[in-house]
Amino acid sequence: MRKIIDMRLNPSDAYVPARWKYMASLMLGIAPGRIYHITPIRLSMDARNKVVFRLKAEIFIGEHLPQEERVFKTALPDVSSRSPVIVVGAGPAGLFAALALVQRGFKPIVIERGKTIQGRKYDIALLNRGEKLNPESNYCFGEGGAGTFSDGKLYTRSTKRGDVTSILRTLVEHGAADNILFDAHPHIGTDKLPGIITSMRRSLLEAGAEFHFNTRVTGFLVSKGRIKGIRDSAGNNFKAGAVILATGHSAHDVYEMMHKEGYALEARPFALGVRVEHPQKLIDEIQYGMADRGR
């Protein structure tokens, strides 16, 4: 038997499954041993008065979670000999575009002007020490995109852009904590994000995708009015049946090149944020009324 219930939890219990089971047994009036599994659906914080968490969950009474409902790593098809599609940019948009192409039977060729995450770490360390700025490998450019080393939160407009469950599951499959599947405001964590991105690249490579780092696009290959590929700064040509631009808003040279060549461009808004850091204990005391909320 399955039942969906809403529980009120203290901040220290919000991420402790054993406490979920205890609270659910009290609400349902049954022994904890009869609860075989709890699937969290949504966890949100109510800070209007005393801070409490509200957990909506599906309770499995006397039955286990079916195998098909468990999170598992999706097997990708071998696309090494399939029709290629070029993806310019290895940020979030580029990586998920490459993943979608593989799932649909195309071979993505990912072109990235910056370095891998490991290479970026070295260049960003030099930048932070005031020693050197690499214009192609920094906070803006390189594997993972602009947010790789600065933030790990997941901000979505899911009510306007459809279900994002498949995206969250992909992140969990590649190393993210599974609580992002039910948190009202999911957060990967800046410390975990680089490893997740590297894992996604490995999955794509195993499926037959190509990655070309330190490769900056300088032009398009056009034949009879159709794009047939790209040209890089070293004079190399990459040919494909289609090109996906996932360059982010900082690749000004790409947009200038497109404007000069007569491509239609449309302005769009973007968000500018300011990061303020505080000790975690201070935030917990302000938000939850305790120095340690148990996470």
| pLDDT tens-digit series, residues 162-206 | 668 888 899 999 999 989 889 988 888 888 899 999 999 999 999
Range among 145-154, 246-255, 262-271 with highest mean pLDDT value = 246-255
201-218: pLDDT as tens digits: 999 999 999 999 999 999
Pair type for strands 52-61 and 2-9? antiparallel
Q: Is the confidence at residue 267, as pLDDT, over 70?
A: yes
Share of the chain above pLDDT 70, in %: 91
For residue 20, the model assigns a pLDDT of 96
For residue 286, the model assigns a pLDDT of 81
The chain-wide mean pLDDT, for the chain, equals 89
151 compared with 53, residue with greater pLDDT: 53
114-138: pLDDT as tens digits: 999 999 999 999 999 999 999 999 9
Region 129-156: mean pLDDT is 83
Give the C-alpha separation, 207 to 96, whole Å: 14
Region 65-79: mean pLDDT is 78
For residue 232, the model assigns a pLDDT of 96
For residue 160, the model assigns a pLDDT of 56
DSSP state of 232: E
Q: Tell me how crowded residue 288 is: count the other CB atoms within 10 A of its CB.
A: 21
- Which of these CATH numbers, 3.40.720, 3.30.70, 1.20.1260, 3.40.50, describes 2-69? 3.30.70
For residue 154, the model assigns a pLDDT of 60
For residue 94, the model assigns a pLDDT of 97
Q: Is the confidence at residue 263, as pLDDT, over 60?
A: yes
Architecture of domain 84-260: 3-Layer(bba) Sandwich (3.50)
Region 224-231: mean pLDDT is 93
What global pTM score does this model have? 0.82
For residue 294, the model assigns a pLDDT of 58
Pair type for strands 107-111 and 84-88? parallel
Quote the distance between the C-alpha of residue 1 and its chain's center.
34
Residues of the chain with CATH 3.50.50.60: 84-260
Residues of the chain with CATH 3.30.70: 2-69
Q: Tell me how crowded residue 274 is: count the other CB atoms within 10 A of its CB.
A: 4
Give the C-alpha separation, 216 to 292, whole Å: 47
Long-range contacts of 39-45, Cβ-Cβ distance < 8 Å, separation of 24 or more: 39/65, 39/69, 40/179, 40/181, 40/182, 41/4, 41/182, 42/182, 42/184, 43/14, 43/179, 43/182, 43/183, 43/184, 44/184, 44/185, 45/11, 45/14, 45/184
Q: Tell me how crowded residue 223 is: count the other CB atoms within 10 A of its CB.
A: 9
